[in-house]
Amino acid sequence: MADNPPTLERSVTDIVPVPVQAKADPKANFTLTANSVIRAEHQARGVADYLAQLLRPATGYKLPVVERHDKGRPGITLQLGDADRRLGEEGYQLTVKKDGVTLWANTPKGLFSAVQSLRQLFPSAINKTTVQKQDWVVSGGTVFDHPRFGWRGAMLDVARHFFKPDQVKRYIDQIAQYKINTLHLHLTDDQGWRIEIKSWPKLAEIGGKTAVGGDPGGYYTQEQYKDIVNYAASRHITVVPEVDMPGHTNAAQASYGELNCDGKPVPPRTDIEVGYSSLCIPKPITYKFVEDVIRELAAITPGPYLNIGGDEAHSTTPADYKTFYDKVSPMLSRYDKKIMGWHNIAVTNPPTSAVPQYWDPATSNADVVAAAKRGNKILMSPANKAYLDMKYNPQTPIGLHWAGYVEVKDAYAWDPATYLQGLSENQIAGVEAPLWTETVRTSADIEYLAFPRLAGAAEIGWSPASTHNWDNYRARLAKQGPIWTALGMNFYRSPQVDWK
């Protein structure tokens, strides 16, 4: 049997994102059986329970989680601590032998990364939610892996169209598979306000009613938001909430007249124009409003960052824009938070702890380069590469195309360290793939635009630059298709990939 091992769907060299090192050993395949266990010490128990929950439905096996010293039965061992220092916080080692599987990392976060790779070594049917009658053979070999960048994000715009907590959780599970570690929630915009602010209740009550095209609105209570944050944390994903300002604020200005210079509420807007709205920069009430929002959001957000927007503030003069951020930026440190914002905030000379997010397709920007020279780390999201809401081609039924058409190869064919002239690798925080939802109404819509492109963004953020190769990637990507099918995901079957 060892001389003629079964042909498996994937080997360790097919993992997405591609590992730093991976060596397949077809003679070392492991078979999970009804007698198998998952071994873990106490600190690794959360990841072990998560792994068991992934594997039990399709196998029908009990897969009890036992102590690490319980060596009586074959299975999967999660080993924590004393791993190679090069692995850092999120890296891992994975070994598959005939007598068992070992995941080894310095932290539970690293073990969670290892689980995502291990999932890809099982037959695709492991992702189904009903019992499947088949052998559960795991591809043999070894993996040594750690991320290129510390920030690997996905953004979901819940302001243009509202997505219920369960829909957000579904997306969290999908992005976690590819070692994404940050979820940026775009909570407010001209068309809707999606988070309860108790000191300003009409933001949700009035601003939460609308959505693009007159579609149903909605908002998260603070309890619902905390539940989403906790769910993301259980997948080792940090939530960064965004309240966009001083532009993109029509929903707030429709809710409270005092936020307008004339004191009157503006009509709600459900179109997709940008750049027309602005908070009233001279009025003191503006800053009470902003601080109340920051205070309440900071209290329910355990992560270190709050995003304060800053893009497309075309109705705010440059002088007013600077005045606004001079007053608002210090508020975040009062509530023990760091600033994240769109790259336009670079002109305000933010503290060096701030992370400007570069979204423009242009490959030069003097203000962003100057901010990086001062010490700010830049998050890379050029719209013509990283925006998941761009159409694949003119026939794509949903999406926009102001930054161009972005096929799967286009989304993969760029390097964050060389994209913006004057920036170098050590000045980059990482990569984020934003999904704006002007045309997106359902989870199936999210999946169609995000997959397969999100997997490419994840690989760009995780894998070494030296591994970046389209032909190799497209072959590995094709093998993700059966996984997505088993998960019931509505992915785009790009003609650039041989999905078989």
To the query of whether residue 67 is one of the catalytic residues in this protein, the response is: no
Pairing of strands 338-342, 305-309: parallel
In the numeric block, the tokens 């169609």 are attached to 448
Token pair in block for residue 198: 């108790």
**Secondary structure (DSSP) of 92-111:** EEEEEETTEEEEEESSHHHH
Q: Report cis status (omega within 30 of 0) of the bond before 452.
A: yes
Query: Alpha helices of 382-480 — where are they, by DSSP H?
Result: 383-386, 408-412, 443-450, 453-462, 470-478
Element (H, E) at 175: helix 165-176
User: With contact defined as beta carbons under 8 Å apart, do 163 and 172 qualify?
Assistant: no
How far apart are the C-alpha atoms of 56 and 138, rounded to whole Å? Answer: 15
User: With contact defined as beta carbons under 8 Å apart, do 343 and 356 qualify?
Assistant: yes
In the numeric block, the tokens 């189904």 are attached to 128
CA angle 343, 402, 308 (to 5 degrees): 25
User: With contact defined as beta carbons under 8 Å apart, do 436 and 389 qualify?
Assistant: yes
User: With contact defined as beta carbons under 8 Å apart, do 88 and 59 qualify?
Assistant: no
Q: Report cis status (omega within 30 of 0) of the bond before 17.
A: yes
How far apart are the C-alpha atoms of 6 and 491, rounded to whole Å? Answer: 29
How far apart are the C-alpha atoms of 170 and 460, rounded to whole Å? Answer: 23
Pairing of strands 21-24, 141-145: antiparallel
Which residues are CB-neighbours of 206 under 8 A, at least 6 positions away?
254, 255, 268
- Which residue of the set 41, 90, 312, 459 is catalytic? 312
Token pair in block for residue 360: 């423009």
List the one residue out of 484, 491, 434 whose CA is nearest residue 158.
Answer: 434
How far apart are the C-alpha atoms of 138 and 117, rounded to whole Å? Answer: 11
CA separation (Å) from 312 to 157, 245, 246?
16, 9, 9
User: With contact defined as beta carbons under 8 Å apart, do 147 and 105 qualify?
Assistant: no
142: DSSP letter: E
Residue 328 sits at φ, ψ, to 5 deg, of: -85, -40
Would you please indicate which residues are annotated as catalytic (active-site) residues?
312
